[in-house]
Each structure stands twice: as C-alpha cells, then as structure tokens.
Structure 1
Amino acid sequence: MKYVILGALSLSVLAACGPANESNKETDKAVADIKDSAFNPNYRDYLKTLSSDEFEGRAPASAGGEKTVSFIENNFREWGLKPYDQENDSYRQPVPLVKLMPYKVSSLNFDGESAPESMKYRTEMMAWTPRVVDEVKVENSDVVFVGYGIVAPEYDWNDYEGLDVEGKTVVMLVNDPGYATGDPELFNGNAMTYYGRWTYKFEEAARQGAEAAFVIHETGPAGYGWGVVAGGSPVRFDLKRENKNMDRSAIEGWITEESANALFATVGKNLEQMRELALSGEFKPQPLNIEASLTVQNKFEYLDTNNVIGYIEGSKYPEEHVIYMAHHDHLGTDPVREDDPIYNGAQDNASGTAALMAMAEQFAKGPQPERSIVFAAVGAEESGLLGSGWYASHPMLPLGKAVGGINMDVMNVYGPMKDMVVVGYGNSSMEDYLKRYVKAQDRYVAPEPTPEVGSFYRSDHFSLAKKGVPMLYAEGGNDHFEKGREWTEEQRAIFNRDAYHKPADEFDENWDLRGVQQDMSVFYSIGNELANSRDWPQWAPGNEFEAVRKATEDMRK
C-alpha cells in the first residue's frame, strides 16, 4: 500500500504541528506547545547518558567505547530487537581496525633541471602512507599533473586517458570541474560530486598504479583551510585488510597552493593556467619534467571496535529492509588537556545515536512491519567512516534488497524549525517521502547552503550510497518558528567555532529538543511507509550511484 497509518506518537507531533492550511499564528502556537515527549519521552535520557563523562568521549577500542556499545546493546535486547549474530545472541558486529602512526616524514625532495626547492612537512605539504608497513620510500618518481584525477564514464571524463602512471607521482586539483566552472551541465555544477572528494582521488590514483598522489589544497573548493589538513594529529585509522593496503599508493598527501605554483613553474605555468588546461576539454596529463622523493617511517597497531546492529524482522518480505544509521563514536579523551580532557560529542553524535535508539524503541512496540527494519549504530565514523564501510562490505541482509536508508548525524537541539535541510539535495527519490511528511508539519524542505564542500560524502550514509542504497541525510534547518533564521545561524556558528570536535560539545539542560522531536517524527514516518509498501526509491537520473543501484535490480524482482 502507498500510504500507511502512522504510529500514535508520530501522529501526536503531526497533530501538534497542524495542517498546512492553518494560520501561521495557530501553527506557531501549536509548535511552541510541543514537548520533549512528543515522539519519544526517553530521548533526552539517552542523549544525556551517551554524552556523559562516564562514557569518556566514546573513542573506538576504549573503555568508554565499550560502555557505549554495551549501553546500546542492552537496550536493543530489552526492546526485543533481533540480534545481528543470532547464533551467539550478540548485537555486535566486530570491526577490525589498524591504527597508523607516521612518526617521521621527510621533506618532499625534487630532482631535475628546473626542480623546485624541497617542500617541508606540514607547512608546505602533508604526507602519510596508507600501507601497513614500517617504512615506505618513493625515490626518483616522475611527477605528472593529472588535472582533477577523475575517471567518470557517465560524464565522459577521463583525466588518465592514454597515461601509464605506474610508479609515478600524480598531482591533481581538489573538488571537480563543476565547482570550478559553476556550469550546472558539467558534473553537478557547484555541488560537489563523489569525484570531487579527495578520498576518491587517492583511490583512483591507486587503481591507476601511482606510487604517490598529492591533492592541491585550496580553501574554497576544499571547504576548509590548510590548518585543518596539517594542524591535526597525523594518526590515521583504517580497516584491517589481509593485503595490508599494499594495493594503495605508497604515499598520499596534500600540497599548498604556493607549492603547486612552484611545481608548475617547472613547465613555465602557474596554478590558474593549469586549471584552465584541465578544464579545456582537450586535457592530456602533463609531465612536469622533475622527479620526487619522500620517506615515511611508520608505526601501526591493530584494534577492534564494534558496530551495534539490531533489527525487526519483516512479516512478509524479511530480506527487504529499511536502514536507520547513526555513528556512536567520538574522539575520546586528550590527556594533555588538564582543564577538560573529555570530548563528550553530545551533538556529534550522541544526538544521532539517541535518535536511533528512540526510533528502535518506538518501532519495537509494533505492529510488525511487512519489510525488515535495521538499526545500525556504527563505530569509527570519526576515523574515516570505517564502521559503516565495514558494514557495507559485510551487510546483515543483501544491500541489493535494501529499500533505502536514513542517516542521523548531529540532530537539531535548538528548537522547532520551519525548514528541514537536505544534504545532497536532489540525489534520490527519498526526498519525495521527506517533503510529504515535512509539509504535513507545515514546514518546507531546503537544499544545503554549501553543496560545494561535499558534506554528503562525509558521513556514514555515503558508505551505503556507494553500494547503491538510496540514502537520505537531512537535518533540522535554520528557520526557527519563534526566533527566526538569524538567531539559529548564530547558534550554529557558535557551535562550529567553539564546540565542534572540541571538549565544549557537552550536553546542555537548556537545549530545546522540540526540533529533534519534529525530525524524529518525520524519519519514523518515512521508514514506516517504506517498511509497509512495495516502493523502491531510486537515485536521480545521472547520479553517480545510479548505475550501482540498477545493477542489483534483479534482486528486487
């Protein structure tokens, strides 16, 4: 059936918000009357517990991380969700990690008739190795400019065409051609595509056989300054693989704009001229007539964390399933900080994990859906979307039979909003369901304000999107019912400046959780409809994940 009756608590929110034809005054009053208990009265307690000092910042493979996993698992068990591992009655999906610690990185040195001076680590370039080895050396490797470093058949774009980069060092531009030109007909215009992400560029360079790969940093198209690249810890995490990541390039890294200009001067050009060349439509990779050398000395150790997965089995189509996802991890503690060593991660992402738990608790009350509903609290998101990446490669149910999914990462703690913002606006028909239920709350859907920074590719839904699953990532917006847009934008700016990935991201008793209740109601309604229908949401035509979804069509017949 196309439309289904909503759960009682979900209906309470919709009724409180009122239909769209009521006057604004009546609607504002109704929304102002929403209480924390409108969808799930336990949400506040889950949020407060997960972000407490007792959970020590929920770092992967830590005592606080173990408390987090146990807390979620125990509640899933109490509510009667089926466990991920039914044979052992366990909700835990082990996620094997490797921690990479480059402790000595040389300067990036060059040889050649017009070779530039060596580039210093952190100030002029950043480099590491993704390989699980003690040391890597790149010696006398030919340097080649490969434009944007993109191979995208659906856009008829191949920056590596006719080039063998085996053993070579490739240098490439950040983001994608659509951002650079603003042309809506080129890639996705100003909105970054998957091909604009630096993670993709390193993966493609490795597929092409490059020995080393460097992305040119520019604040605008990257979406952050050089300090973000070079100012943090060089420690990295990855999934444990049998081949020890030897299929990856030996060196990955970034160089500054100034460093790029020094490189391009070897062929009598600068960064702007090389960008124009990359966008010309007649681009061919450009050898820079120099050789690069660099050494990274590395330490590594193996760790284990866990995803926590429970599900409600469908009554008619148990393999077909809807997925709710949120990451339970954060940054742990910093023993060097004496004033406040705990990164509590209240908004990021105790708020989303608490919403996942509230959603699971509500669905567990019944009735049983026709399709299964999976609740995945994944780990190691802050380390590179690793928990969701592991689940995507080791799913509980076939992802070709995943109807669609909703990711919850940083919920709205500032009160009821007139808008709901979609990150990755226009990507899939999941938005059609969202728009209908948001409209029922006398609200509207808005696209994210900065699509060029590629936020859609920076949270856990991306791991499933790459497997073809249509994923929705939406957040409470900025247009506050009572205080307006300017006030909300100021609150978010304060959070980003003072609390994001800092110890100040702590639970606040004064938070107005009515906005979370609004959004949880919408997410519940979408999942409830999909779990009791024969609908199969799809990616928008031309989307980079459309082909993957189509390849699994036979599984859904």
Structure 2
Amino acid sequence: MKRLTVLATSVLLLACSPAPEPTASEQPSAVSVDSYSFNENYRSYLETLSGDDFAGRAPAGEGEAKTVALVEQKFSQWGIKPYNADTGSYQQPVPLVRMLPYQVSDMQFNHDDLAAFSYRNDMMAWSPRVQDGVELIDSPLVFAGYGIVAPEYGWNDYEGLDVAGKTVVVLVNDPGYDSGDSEVFNGKAMTYYGRWTYKFEEAARQGAAGVLVIHETGAAGYGWGVIAGGSPQRFDLARDNNNMDRSEIEGWITEASADRLFARLGEDYKSMRQRAQQADFKAIDLGTSMSLSVATKFDYLDSPNLIGYIEGAKYPDQHVIYMAHWDHMGVDPINPDDGIFNGAQDNASGTAGVMALAEFYASQPAPDRSVVFVLVTAEERGLLGSDWYADNPMLPLAKAVAGINMDVMNVYGPMRDMVVVGRGNSELEDYLQKYVEQQGRYLAAEPNPEVGSYYRSDHFNLAKRGVPMLYAKGGNDHIEFGVSYGQEKRAEYIRDAYHKPADEYDPNWDLRGVQQDLWLYYQVGHELAHGDAWPNWYEGNEFRAIRDASQSQRQ
C-alpha cells in the first residue's frame, strides 16, 4: 500500500454557484495516473465481495454471513475498534419486516361515470402498516398540488386543509422542476420535497388516510414499469408502533388515470399541474370518493449494519463518517442460467472502498477526531440500514463533523471530472474542490439533477438529520478517451447491468479511477478529522436549519 502522488495544476473553480463546465480547451491538462495507488488491496476486496459464492449479498441470505465474516476479519486484523466494545462485535442489528401485499383490489369510485382503476395498469397501492388487512371505504379524494409544506420556500399545499379520513392526490417532483426558475425551490434540481417518499411522509403528518402520487416519467425520473413491474414485496424497519402513524394506503396512479379523475371537473393533468404552480393555489376537492383494500403477509428478520471506528486522540465524540451499503439483490430462484445478482458495481465497489479507507487510516497516526466506518444493510430495500443507524448512531449525530458516501464507484478508468451529486448543497464541496484541483481535475454537477439522485442513497438519511454529507464520484470525462467514452460506459451499465445479474466483476476494469476518488475521499476526511472546522449546509438548503439547531451540542 502506498499513498497517491499527484501534481498540482490549476483548474476552474466550480463552487456553490455552479459555473458553466469548462470547454475542451479550458479543461486542465491531465496528469499522469499510472502511479495512482491509494490502496493496492482494493481490487481483491471488490472481486471477493462480488463473487458468486457471496450469492448477491441479500439481507438475511447466505451471502450476508460471508460479507459479515470478511468485514469483521479485516477490521479486526487492522485494529479497527468494534461498534460494541462490550462484546467486541462490529454488528449493529437492524430489525426488518418483510411485507407482501398478496391481494390488492381495484380502486373503486362512488360515481358511475368513473370506471375502476385496475391494479398495476392504472394504479399501484399497498399499506405501509404492519397488519393483515387494510380497507378504505368511500375516502374523499382531494388534489393537494405538490403535497409540500416547505416554510423556507414559503410553500404550504396543506394550508387550511383538513385531510382526516381523506385520500390526497399529489404531483411528483416540486414546483422548481416545472418552472425551470432557479429562484423557485432549486430550479430543475429536485429538492427533497420533490421525492415521493416525502409526499408519503407529509401526507401522514397531515393525517391523510391515503396518498396517491401521480406518475410522470420526466418528473419522476423513471417509467411506469419501474413502479408496476416486478414483485410488490416491500421491506421496512420493524418499528414498535407497526407504522400505525403512516397513512393506511400509499400508492401511485398513472398520468392517464389522473386525467380521468380531473375530467370530472373539466380539467386534465396538464392544467391541474399548472394550477398547482400558482402561489395562491388551494387544494381542490375532486368530487368523488374511492374504496380500496389490501391484504398483506409479513414476517420479521434481522440484518446487521457493520460498524468500526478509529478513536480520535483529542475529541473522540467528534467524528467523520465513511458510508456504503454492503447489500444487494440476492438470487433469483426462477433464473436457472444466471440468477445471482452479484452487485459488483452496486455496491461491492463502495463496500470495498470503505474497507480500503479503513485499512489506510489504520496505518496512519491516530486523528484528533474519530473516524467511523459504516457499512449499512438493506439499502436496496429502501435505505433501511442507514435509516436505523441515523436513529441509533454509535456517536451523537450532532457531533458528526461530516460524512462521505460511496455508492457505485467508477470502474472505467481515470476521469478528468468529479461529479458532485446534489451539487450546491454543502460546504463539503469547497473541501473537495481543492483536492480535485490537485489532481488536475474539475468539479461537475450531475447531468440530471431533476431526478433527485441525492435523495436516493444512504447518505440522505444522515443529511435529513442535519449531517453534511458528500456524495461524489468520477464522472464521464475520461482522461484518455474523452466524454463520449465515459457516457457510453455509464449508459451500457444502466441498460445492461444495473440491478441485473450482469452486474459482475470484470478483471479488465480499469480501477485507476477508483484510486483517484479514494484519494479524494481520504484527503477530505483527513483534513476534517485533524481540524476543528464544522462544515455546514449552504444557506437556503432544506437541512441547514436542522444542523443549526444542534450547534449548542457541539460547543
């Protein structure tokens, strides 16, 4: 193992106010990457974790035991302290419940001019509550615009609205997506208020009996097949209240289904979406009620987060977090040819990255602040392991300096650009920028911020509790082959391998790009772990108020 040596070159600075990306002539000259080697053991960790014998690393599956054994053996070998000092265990048990809605009725309406919505074709629905059966009968439907309550943006779609016993119908994404105006929410870049998960959470807080999100491919970032295809099986954390604080019914309806609802008012989906963008929008009674029933089978299982740390020499409660999810999709029993979802890129690559960082940190002098390595479970089931950790952290989250998440690393070679997912969120980008500059690279925004990728990986569960989190990775501008090569590789992965058995380890992968990025993750974390700074979210970010509210706990 040896530290990476890079040459410092000048680069265009792209900070909290994104500037245009450099043109080819403006981009920094590339540096030699032949000697890039942050941790020479990375490849072996990646290959091992994504091997067929790890059976797709499903929670509570046979691959889980192998993953746990490997991580624990390596952490112990390197002298990484265990999560549970009393037992010497690196495991934090995460209680999960597996739910299968095995019988879902069509959605019936109490008006003869409105035909029933059929399951999977016109709508998808389930109950988040852990109980055998749920039934809504004649629940009045109300169009609640975007379903958003965002004080920092002066937005409240529920103002003056009583939704007890009612089902709210809401739009996906947020007003900024539709306006394209950077002064409205975050413009085209989705805020958390645009995520469908938020819509369900807010509807429950408002006391709605049901909530239906209208699907639109562009605004959602994926087609109806993603929602209606595949198994309806769902996972959640096994909470003491059995999720009885959630709405009884959650679900989606198609854009065409929304047109049918709105037609009774002489409107359509497009016109109602335009109405919802107006500052004086008020919720609209849709003049009909719906009935729906869901029968659910459920069982319980445990799966561990794997947590180790290096204790800070001066401030042990203050800590920097490195995070990745170790789980993937397991095995498809009906595929006799190749049913193993190896998850090499997603996310053996990130798990191996955390291991490589832990190994390197362990070889260095102890930092002033603690460094915590968190490998979470059940990301593929809804970011559940990270959600559990965020509610049950090893050290107080108010004293978490910052965190770095690794999910689907760059295996296609050294890149000139470093893509910041959710760019413009936090001061961590300022730390990253100077080290990117040292590599002769440039920061770039994600190409499709409107799909809300920042809210779709594990770092988000810590972010929404106030911890500044960085999610960045090598982009598409390959040092030797250019942008088109990188774009082709990414598109090929999404098309052929993402969440498919084809996501397998390839010995021909050029892992110099991973080594580039590991060096950056280390440098940012190292500076924070050896300093006294407390990075924050940028002004206007939806998580800044939470971070500011915990400031007294850091003094």
Equivalent residue number for residue 364 of structure 1: 362
Matched, 1:415 2:409: no
1:70 positional shift:
1.6
**Counterpart in the other structure of 1:448:** 446
Distance change >3 Å, CA 292–CA 150, structure 1 → 2:
same
Three-state SS of the structure 1 residue aligned to 2:75 is helix
CA drift of 1:206 comes to 0.6
Counterpart CA distance in 2 for 1:177 and 1:20 is: 38
Q: 1:233 aligns with which of 231, 234, 244?
A: 231
Which position in structure 1 is the counterpart of 2:32? 30
1:277 deviates by 1.2
Provide the C-alpha distance between the structure 1 equivalents of 2:136 and 2:268, rounded to a whole number of angstroms: 25
Distance in 2 separating the partners of 1:217 and 1:19? 46
CA displacement at 1:28 relative to structure 2: 4.3
- Cα distance in 2, alignment partners of residues 145 and 431 from structure 1: 38
Matching residue's letter, 1:143: L
Residue 5 of structure 1 corresponds to none
Amino acid at match of 2:535: P
Post-superposition CA distance 1:462-501 (Å, at most 9, x none): 0000110000000101100001000110011011000000
Deviation at 1:9, TM superposition (A): 3.4
Q: What is the CA distance between 1:547 and its match in structure 2?
A: 0.5
Task: Give the match's secondary structure for 1:473.
Answer: strand
Aligned AA (1:197): R
Residue 29 of structure 1: CA displacement?
Answer: 6.4
Residue identity matched to 1:347: Q
**Separation (CA, whole Å) in 2 of partners of 1:278 and 1:351:** 42
* Equivalent-residue separation in structure 2 for 1:556 and 1:442 (angstroms): 35
1:387-417 deviations in whole A, cap 9, x for unaligned? 0000000000000000000000000000000
Spell out the pairing of 1:260-339 with structure 2 (5 A cutoff).
Answer: 260-339=258-337
Q: Alignment partner of 1:93: what SS?
A: strand
The CA deviation at 1:19 is 3.6
How large is the Cα RMSD of the aligned pairs?
1.5
Residues 124-523 of structure 1 correspond to what in structure 2 (within 5 A)? 124-523=122-521
Secondary structure of 2:348's counterpart equals helix
Q: CA deviation at 1:192?
A: 0.2
Task: Give the SS at the match of 1:160.
Answer: coil
What amino acid does structure 2 have at the position aligned with 1:261? D
- 2:31/2:440 contact within 8 Å kept: no
Structure 2 equivalent of residue 119 of structure 1: 117
- SS of aligned partner of 2:324: strand
CA separation of 1:318/1:121 partners in 2, compared to 1, >3 Å: closer, same or farther? same
d(CA) in 2 for partners of 1:214, 1:115: 20
CA contact (8 A) 1:215 1:254 kept: yes
Distance 1:364 1:216, change over 3 A: same
Equivalent in 544, 547, 554 of residue 546 of structure 1: 544
C-alpha contact (below 8 Å) 2:30/2:416 kept by paired residues: no
Aligned partners of 2:10 and 2:28 also within 8 Å: no
Q: Please give the TM-score of this superposition, normalised by the length of structure 2.
A: 0.96
Amino acid at match of 1:77: S
Give percent identity, aligned residues only.
63
In structure 2, the partner of 1:9 is 2
State the partner residue of 2:16: none
Is the CA contact (8 Å cut-off) linking 2:101 and 2:294 kept in structure 1?
yes
TM-score for the superposition, normalised by structure 1: 0.96
In the alignment, structure 1 segments of 5+ residues that lack a partner are 1-7
Aligned to 2:43: 44
Question: How far apart, CA to CA, are the structure 2 residues paired with 1:90 and 1:431?
Answer: 34
Amino acid at match of 2:32: A
Paired letter, 2:2: L
Report Cα offsets for 1:51-86 as digits up to 9, x if no partner: 000100000111111211121111111111111100
**How many Å separate the matches in 2 of 1:115 and 1:412?**
53
How far the C-alpha of 1:556 sits from its partner, in A, is 1.2
Matched letter for residue 493 of structure 1 = A
Confirm or deny: 8 A CA contact 2:31 2:439 kept in the other structure: no
Distance across 2 between alignment mates of 1:508 and 1:13 = 26
Q: Amino acid of the residue matched to residue 198 of structure 1?
A: W
| Offset of residue 34 of structure 1 | 3.0
Is 1:62 aligned to 2:61, yes or no? Answer: yes
The one-letter code sitting in structure 2 at the alignment partner of 1:34 is S
**Corresponding letter in the other structure for 1:85:** N
- Separation in structure 1 between the aligned mates of residue 29 and residue 247 of structure 2, nearest angstrom: 57
Counterpart-to-counterpart distance in 1, 2:390 and 2:463? 9
| Counterpart-to-counterpart distance in 2, 1:247 and 1:340 | 41
- What is the letter of the counterpart of residue 280 of structure 2? E
Once residues 299 and 467 of structure 2 are traced to their aligned partners in structure 1, the CA distance between those partners, rounded to angstroms, is 33
The 8 Å contact of residues 133 and 295 in structure 2, kept in 1 or not, is answered as: yes
Q: Distance in 2 between matches of 1:90 and 1:207?
A: 37
**Preserved CA contact (<8 Å) 1:313 1:373:** yes
SS at match of 1:199: helix
Q: Deviations over 1:366-397 (max 9, x none)?
A: 20000000000000000000000000000000
One-letter identity of the residue aligned with 1:54 = D
Distance in 2 separating the partners of 1:227 and 1:352: 28
Distance between the aligned counterparts of 2:141 and 2:30, measured in 1?
61
Task: State the aligned residue count.
Answer: 542
Whole-angstrom CA distance in 1 between matches of 2:268 and 2:29 = 57
SS at match of 1:242: coil
TM-aligned CA distance change 1:26 to 1:249, over 3 Å: closer
Give the partner amino acid of 1:476. G
The offset of 1:24, in angstroms, is 11
Shift of 1:157: 0.6
